[in-house]
């Protein structure tokens, strides 16, 4: 039986209304066919390609073109992008706001990325902030956050979150001599701060649809940092902290039916426990036995979890 | 022969559609629940992420289990290895069948077992031909191809069919023939699959549920393209591609006749155009998307093909072209009646499009044009490649 035949049956039996049948059957017959996603991907790839080319060109021709030409042209592009966004933007709302048009989000994203290129060029050539140059990152991150919230743009939010991560990494590096230690500390601080900020904004009902972006990035950074702490036994607290974090990830994932977080919790948690369990073990057979048995335990646990979630049909 | 009946596949397809329509606001929650109940089948499914984790851990168990057997037996002879691999393959197959008998459907568990059964059977048969590396490779690829087909026809795994096509197309590259012949044989294979798919479409216009026909057809187009784009293979793909698609002693840029080179250059433009035309005509999303990918690859490799100098501003031009094309198409569609032309619209109709876009925006954190910063970036360093290193916006740039 085809989907159309089934739809027809539902219409005749009254399971769906006539207007619903008309709308859905048009999609099934492909009388209406959306290329929304394809156009968005073209725009995204276009922006990425443009910025990569701009960075490459500036790198190769900076001596020939001169500072004025580079800074001037980048400023012009950034200014035009921001002017367009300011002129065309819909009023701010804490709720999700649709873009005024398809290209709007990508023009803002392009402007933010080019601004990053320009700031980077300025600092490298003029050393305006000298040893405090990392404040450029903080400034960029704050600007990107402001743009992401003002114009409701998830691409710019991701950009802001990664720029903030870079600032955390550089800032904390000044207090530590061991590179891994500072990176881990920075990552933990960043992960905790980002997750807390995302949850706080969610509770404040400000752009609640942004929460998942915060949590995906924060969870991965935090769990990866904790795993590295377990691997390099820097403190006895890493394992309990790791177990608590994976527990929260799995619990939250199940509770709110966001199963990506269950996957993060299981995979990172398994790696951390395995590192601890196999520490000092040099016997290949016992290693394989551990992998076999522990893998089976995880599979059984997941089957029970999936069973409980009731996706049986 | 199939584990799942056509009725089950149809119900699963339609239930997935009902969920999507409900998420897109086309059905009320109560209607959705009632229709889904009506479409119930005695099969157990799970969420995509849990499926992926189950696949991963089942694979880990299988590999560890076979490695344990190897360490216990310590095989030395080819026959011993053959026996271990074949036995492991049959055991995995039996367990996959058992999983299906317990009503698992795309659960990750039975998928990993079935995939590894094909892998082990291929390795076992390849061991029989281990006297020469060429015959071993051919045996491995051939049995892998047949195993993938078996998985597709028995369990309906479309990805297994696509993987089996890739394996089969690598076989000519193991033969001691010219590179043109190798490529033409691989193209002939993909073209045969494509012709079979088109013939099936002619006989049965409605794609049977779970058959993945449009995916296999699109993969055939892509396969033909990848075999014909001579510059792509050397410019973009690295070692894994060359491992199977080039003879060990062959140089990275194969010597070909001028006529062949020119023909392939023409084909890398004809294929995307023809695919896009067909995809748009039939409103076949997979073919449209693959054709767009082929067109992008052609644009990216065209200068190398013609021996022209690649400039740093080429990506800027490509970016401008993509942005302009997208905006023009959107405007052209919007100016049509009700924002549509021939049924095509730039408006989002289904919620899944928004979810895909949200996923892309999260993934963009890792895919920005400037790589993530190291904490050690020093502004005093000289101008280097990258256009600014930072997690975002290149603001830590070390030009």
Per-residue pLDDT reduced to its tens digit, A108-144? 999 999 999 998 888 888 887 777 778 888 999 999 9
Average pLDDT in chain B: 87
B298 and B183 fall within a common domain: yes
For residue B191, tell me if it sits in a domain: yes
My answer on whether B141 and B253 are in the same domain is no
Tell me, yes or no, whether B170 lies in a domain. Answer: no
Is residue B392 one of the residues assigned to a domain? no
User: Which among B297, B314, B331 is the end of a domain?
Assistant: B314
In a domain, B98, yes or no: yes
- Whether residues B306 and B182 fall in one domain: yes
* Position A171 pLDDT exceeds 70: no
Domain ranges of chain A: 40-174, 175-279
Res A131: pLDDT? 73
The per-residue pLDDT for range B177-187, each reduced to its tens digit, is 988 999 999 99
Q: Is residue B353 part of a domain?
A: no
Residues B30, B109: one domain? Answer: no
In this prediction, residue B121 has a pLDDT band, given cuts at 50, 70 and 90, of very high
> Which chain A positions have a beta carbon within 8 Å of B53's beta carbon?
262-263, 266-267, 302
ipTM of the complex: 0.90
Residues B95 and B151 in one domain: yes
Please check whether residues B37 and B52 belong to one and the same domain. no
Q: Is there a contact between A55 and B379 if contact means CB atoms under 8 Å apart? A: no
Written in H, E and C, the secondary structure of chain A is CCHHHHHHHHHHHCCCCHHHHHHHHHHHCCCCEECHHHHHHHHHHHHHHHHHHHHHHHHHHHHHHCHHHHHHHHHHHHHHHHHHHHHHCCCCCCCCCCCCCCCHHHHHHHHHHHHHHHHHHHHHHHCCCHHHCCHHHHHHHHHHHHHHHHHCCHHHHHHHHHHHHHHHHHHHHCCCCCHHHHHHHHHHHHHHHHHHHHHHHHHCCCCHHHHHHHHHHHHHHHHHHHHHHHHCCCCCCHHHHHHHHHHHHHHHHHHCCCHHHHHHHHHHHHHHHHHHHCCCCCCHHHHHHHHHHHHHHHHHHHHHHHHHHCCEC
pLDDT for the residue B196: 96
Residue B320 lies in a domain: no
Per-residue tokens: A99: 């873009």
Does pLDDT of B318 surpass 60? yes
Quote the tokens at residue A228.
């590295």
Whether B31 and B77 share a structural domain:
no
Beta-ladder partners of B341 = B344
**Mean pLDDT over residues B342-353, rounded?**
94
Q: Residue A102 and residue B383: Cβ atoms within 8 Å?
A: no
| Residues B111, B207 share a domain | no
User: Among A81-85, A176-180, B54-58, B121-125, which is the least confidently predicted range?
Assistant: A176-180
Q: How many domains does chain B have?
A: 3
pLDDT value, residue B253:
55
What token pair was written down for A208?
């609640």
Question: Are residues B219 and B201 part of one domain?
Answer: yes
pTM for this entry: 0.89
Name chain B contacts of A140, Cβ cutoff 8 Å. Answer: 390, 392-393, 395
> Residue A181: its pLDDT value, please?
75
Interface check B310 vs A, CB under 8 A: no
Cα–Cα distance measured from residue B307 to residue A20, given in angstroms and rounded to the nearest whole number: 56
Same domain assignment for residues B228 and B300:
yes
Contacts of B366 (CB under 8 A, 6+ apart): B372
B60 and A295: CB-CB below 8 Å?
Answer: yes
Among A298-312, B220-234, B319-333, the range scoring the smallest mean pLDDT is A298-312
Kindly identify which residue of chain A lies nearest to residue B341, measuring between CA atoms.
A32
Q: Per-residue pLDDT averaged across A158-166, rounded?
A: 93
Quick one: angle between helices B109-128 and B48-73, nearest 10? 40
Examine the pLDDT at B382 and tell me if it is beyond 70: no
| Nearest beta carbon to residue B325 from set A42, A115, A291 | A42
Q: Which of A13, A14, A21, A56 to mutate to test the interface with B (most CBs of B within 10 A)?
A: A56
Report the C-alpha gap between A103 and A222 in whole angstroms: 34
pLDDT tier, A174 (very low <50, low <70, confident <90, very high otherwise): low
Residues B309 and B211 placed together within one structural domain of the fold: yes
Most trustworthy range by pLDDT among A169-178, B205-214, B324-333: B324-333
Q: Give A182's contacts in chain B (Cβ within 8 Å).
A: 375
Q: Which one of B280, B314, B348 terminates a domain?
A: B314
- A and B: number of Cβ contacts within 8 A: 374
Q: Chain A residue with minimal CA distance to B384?
A: A59
Strongest mean pLDDT among B210-214, B288-292, B310-314, B366-370:
B288-292
B308 and B198 within one domain: yes
Beta bridge partners of B340: B345
pLDDT of B242 higher than 70? no
**Tens-digit pLDDT profile for residues A240-250:** 999 999 999 99
Chain A residues closer than 8 Å to B367 by CB? 48
- Name the residue with higher pLDDT: B241 or B5: B5
Alpha carbon distance B64, B73 (integer Å): 14
**Domain-located, residue B197:** yes
Structural domain includes residue B360:
no
With a CB-CB cutoff of 8 Å, which residues 227-256 of chain B face chain A? none
Q: Edge to edge, what strands does the sheet with B340-341 contain? A: A33-34, B344-345, B340-341
Residue B250 has pLDDT above 50, yes or no: no
Residue B297's domain spans which residues? 176-314
């Amino acid at each position: 039986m085809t989907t159309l035949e089934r739809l027809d049956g539902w219409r005749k039996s009254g399971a769906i209304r006539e207007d619903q049948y008309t709308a859905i059957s048009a999609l099934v017959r492909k009388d209406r066919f959306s290329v929304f996603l394809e156009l968005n991907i073209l725009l995204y790839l276009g922006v990425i390609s443009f910025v990569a080319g701009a960075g490459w060109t500036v790198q190769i021709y900076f001596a020939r073109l001169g500072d004025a030409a580079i800074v001037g042209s980048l400023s012009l592009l950034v200014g035009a992008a921001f002017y367009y966004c300011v002129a065309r933007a819909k009023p701010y709302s804490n709720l999700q706001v649709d873009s005024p048009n398809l290209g709007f989000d990508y023009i803002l994203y392009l402007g933010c990325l080019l601004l990053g290129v320009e700031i980077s060029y300025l600092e490298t050539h003029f050393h305006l902030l000298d040893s405090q140059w990392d404040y450029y990152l903080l400034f960029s991150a704050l600007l990107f956050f402001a743009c992401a919230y003002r114009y409701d743009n998830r691409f710019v939010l991701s950009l802001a979150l990664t720029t903030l991560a870079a600032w955390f990494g550089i800032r904390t590096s000044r207090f530590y001599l061991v590179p891994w230690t500072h990176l881990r500390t920075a990552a933990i601080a960043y992960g905790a701060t980002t997750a807390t900020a995302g949850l706080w904004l969610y509770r404040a009902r400000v752009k609640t649809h942004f929460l998942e972006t915060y949590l995906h990035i924060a969870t991965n950074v935090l769990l990866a940092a904790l795993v590295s702490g377990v691997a390099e036994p820097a403190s006895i607290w890493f394992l309990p902290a790791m177990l608590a974090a994976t527990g929260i990830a799995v619990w939250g994932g199940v509770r709110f039916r966001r199963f990506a977080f269950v996957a993060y919790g299981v995979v990172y948690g398994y790696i951390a426990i395995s590192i601890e369990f196999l520490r000092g073990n040099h016997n290949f057979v016992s290693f394989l036995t551990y992998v076999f048995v522990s893998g089976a335990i995880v599979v059984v646990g997941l089957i029970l979890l999936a069973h409980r979630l009731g996706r049986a049909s | 022969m199939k584990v799942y009946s056509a009725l089950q596949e149809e119900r699963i397809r339609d239930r997935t559609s009902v969920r999507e329509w409900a998420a897109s606001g086309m059905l009320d929650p109560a209607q959705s629940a009632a229709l889904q109940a009506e479409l119930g089948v005695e099969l157990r499914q799970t969420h995509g992420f849990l499926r992926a984790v189950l696949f991963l851990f089942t694979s880990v168990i299988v590999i560890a289990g076979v490695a344990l057997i190897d360490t216990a037996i310590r095989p030395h002879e080819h026959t011993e290895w053959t026996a271990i691999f074949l036995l492991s393959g049959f055991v995995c197959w039996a367990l996959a069948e058992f999983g299906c008998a317990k009503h698992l459907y795309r659960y990750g568990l039975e998928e990993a077992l079935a995939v590894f059964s094909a892998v082990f059977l291929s390795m076992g048969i390849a061991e029989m031909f281990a006297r020469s590396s060429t015959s071993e490779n051919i045996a491995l690829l051939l049995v892998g191809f047949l195993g993938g087909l078996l998985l597709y026809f028995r369990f309906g795994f479309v990805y297994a069919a696509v993987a089996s096509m890739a394996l089969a197309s690598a076989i000519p590259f193991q033969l001691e023939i010219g590179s043109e012949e190798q490529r033409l044989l691989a193209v002939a294979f993909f073209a045969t699959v494509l012709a079979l798919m088109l013939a099936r479409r002619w006989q049965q216009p409605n794609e049977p549920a779970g058959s993945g026909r449009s995916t296999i057809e699109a993969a055939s187009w892509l396969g033909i393209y990848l075999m014909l784009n001579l510059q792509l293979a050397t410019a973009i793909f690295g070692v894994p591609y060359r491992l199977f698609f080039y003879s060990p002693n062959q140089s990275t840029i194969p010597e070909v006749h001028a006529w062949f080179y020119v023909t392939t250059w023409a084909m890398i433009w004809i294929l995307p155009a023809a695919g896009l035309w067909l995809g748009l005509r039939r409103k076949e999303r997979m073919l449209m998307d693959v054709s767009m990918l082929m067109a992008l690859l052609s644009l990216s490799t065209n200068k190398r093909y013609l021996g022209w100098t690649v400039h740093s501003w080429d990506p800027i031009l490509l970016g401008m072209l993509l942005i302009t094309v997208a905006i023009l198409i959107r405007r052209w569609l919007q100016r049509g009646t009700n924002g549509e032309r021939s049924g095509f619209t730039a408006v989002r109709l289904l919620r899944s499009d928004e979810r895909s876009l949200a996923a892309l925006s999260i993934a963009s954190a890792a895919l920005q044009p400037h790589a993530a910063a190291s904490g050690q970036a020093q502004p005093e360093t000289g101008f280097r490649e990258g256009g600014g290193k930072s997690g975002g916006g290149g603001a830590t740039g070390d030009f």
